[in-house]
Structure formats: structure tokens, C-alpha cells
């Protein structure tokens, strides 16, 4: 799966041009493994545009409940509007909004109750990376975030080293593949039904380095930030994925 995370970007006119360009650069079979997370206010626009395709449109975040929570969107509201998946635990949510594993776990539970596929984002800081603590950090994030009371079938992990997001710095593809293998093992051990999740890589992915990552067996796709704002680049990434994974 290749997921575009637009963050707080886009407007009605630019979004429409992006969608038209992107649609014209791919064959219909490629839509089967594409997800797009626009801003909340642009969700309906993209969901309407791609309604006759298999492109999945998701949310960048939800809150655990509705009601008197000003500025938030509940999983129930997202589901009613046709949301397919939702990012949770992104490093920007953890850092800027002080979200911890307990809250993220509740968000995942709420998504599962409303039949929305969670994409759990995990990643280490540069200091943790340099100190050799990457695996310990990722394991703790996974254990803290996975709800204990659910049999999980609909869970995707996105590994995003914080130091690589938007920095232009990327770890070696072989190193990422090894980390993905570790993540799969941890999730398998931590879940009641021993699932082996799909694991996406995120962190300065573009159409130049995408082939290095997709050549690796345990890298199952990508969560693409800045590069996804250019429809041509994002389409190139999707086409590279399709070619190398032979889907």
C-alpha cells in the first residue's frame, strides 16, 4: 500500500488538478493499493472524486469520541462519511499534541469499532537512533499502542524514523528492512491472534529512492509526506511499487 499524507496542505482547485493528473498517470489496477489522507475539510472532495475507483481515502487523525470535543472528529463521524483508514500516532501528533501510547491505543480501539483500518505510526528520534535504542523504542510504542482487548486483523504499521521525516536523510534500505522484520515479530508476539502486519516505510520517500526500499522483502509499501503533494512524483512512486512488487 502506498499512502499519501497531505498534512495541512491543499485547496479545492489544487486538489482537483492533483486528482486529475494522478488519475491520468495510472492504470485502474494501480488504484487497488493507493491511499490518500487529505485534510479533514478536503476529505469529501477526494472521496467523491475517486468514488468509482478502489483508491482508499482516509483521515489523518480522529478523536476517541464525539460530543463536546471542540475541533475534533470522531471515528463514528469519519466512518459515516466513508473513511477507509486513519493514521494514528504520527510523530507530529506525539510531539506537538503530546499524544501518548494510552491515547493512541484508545484511538485504535475506536477506529476498529467503526470498521476503519488503523495505520499506526511509530519511530525513533535521532538521539535514540544514534544511541542504538531504535528497537527498544519501537517495541515500547507498539506494546503501548496496541489495544489488548481486540483480535486484530485490520492493522498496518508505518515505520517513520523522526529524524528522516522531511529532512532528506534516509536510512539504508537494508537497515529499514531489518527493522521491519523486527516490527513484524513484535506485533506477532503482542497480538492474541499472532498477526503479521504489513509495514510501510515513511521518511523522505520520493521517486528517486523508492526503488531501493521496494526491492526489500519486508518493506510492504510507503507512507509518503512531502513528495505526495506532487501528483507526478506520487504516481511515479506507485508505478515503481507496482513494478517491483509485481502486483
Coil, helix or strand at residue 19: helix
18 touches 231 (CB < 8 A): yes
How far apart are the C-alpha atoms of 46 and 69, rounded to whole Å? 25
Which positions are catalytic? Answer: 90, 160
Residue identified by cell 544511541 is 131
For 186, the grid coordinates are 513484535
Q: Please report how many Cα atoms fall inside a 13 Å half-sphere around the Cα of residue 246, on the Cβ side.
A: 3
Alpha helices in 57-205 (DSSP H): 75-80, 91-96, 101-113, 126-130, 134-145, 173-190
Per-residue pLDDT of 190-240, as tens digits, reads 887 888 999 999 988 999 999 999 999 999 999 999 999 999 999 999 999
**Which run of H or of E encompasses 120?**
strand 117-122
Q: What is the pLDDT of residues 47-83, one digit of tens each?
A: 999 999 999 999 999 999 999 989 899 999 999 999 9
Whats the size of the chain, residue-wise? 247
Q: Hey, what domains does the chain have and what are their CATH numbers? A: 2-245 (3.20.20.70)
Amino acid at each position: 500500500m502506498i499512502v499519501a499524507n497531505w498534512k495541512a496542505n491543499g485547496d479545492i482547485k489544487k486538489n482537483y488538478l492533483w486528482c486529475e493528473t494522478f488519475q491520468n498517470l495510472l492504470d485502474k489496477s494501480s488504484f487497488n493499493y493507493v491511499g490518500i489522507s487529505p485534510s479533514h475539510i478536503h476529505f469529501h472532495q477526494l472521496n467523491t472524486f475517486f468514488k468509482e475507483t478502489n483508491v482508499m481515502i482516509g483521515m489523518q487523525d480522529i478523536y476517541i469520541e464525539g460530543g463536546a470535543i471542540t475541533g475534533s472528529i470522531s471515528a463514528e463521524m469519519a466512518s459515516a462519511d466513508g473513511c477507509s483508514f486513519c493514521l494514528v500516532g504520527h510523530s507530529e501528533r506525539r510531539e506537538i499534541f503530546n499524544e501518548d501510547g494510552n491515547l493512541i491505543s484508545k484511538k485504535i480501539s475506536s477506529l476498529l469499532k467503526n470498521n476503519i483500518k488503523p495505520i499506526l505510526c511509530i519511530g525513533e528520534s535521532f538521539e535514540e537512533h544514534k544511541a542504538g535504542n531504535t528497537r527498544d523504542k519501537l517495541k515500547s510504542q507498539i506494546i503501548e499502542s496496541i489495544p489488548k482487548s481486540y483480535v486484530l486483523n485490520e492493522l498496518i504499521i508505518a515505520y517513520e524514523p523522526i529524524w528522516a521525516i522531511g529532512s532528506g536523510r534516509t536510512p539504508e534500505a537494508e537497515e529499514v528492512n531489518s527493522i521491519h522484520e523486527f516490527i513484524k515479530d513484535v506485533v506477532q508476539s503482542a497480538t492474541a491472534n499472532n498477526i503479521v502486519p504489513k509495514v510501510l516505510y515513511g521518511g523522505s520517500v520520493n521517486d528517486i529512492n523508492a526503488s531501493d526500499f521496494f526491492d526489500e522483502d519486508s518493506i510492504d509499501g510507503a507512507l509518503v509526506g512531502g513528495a505526495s503533494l506532487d501528483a507526478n512524483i506520487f504516481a511515479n512512486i506507485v508505478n515503481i511499487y507496482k513494478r517491483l512488487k509485481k502486483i
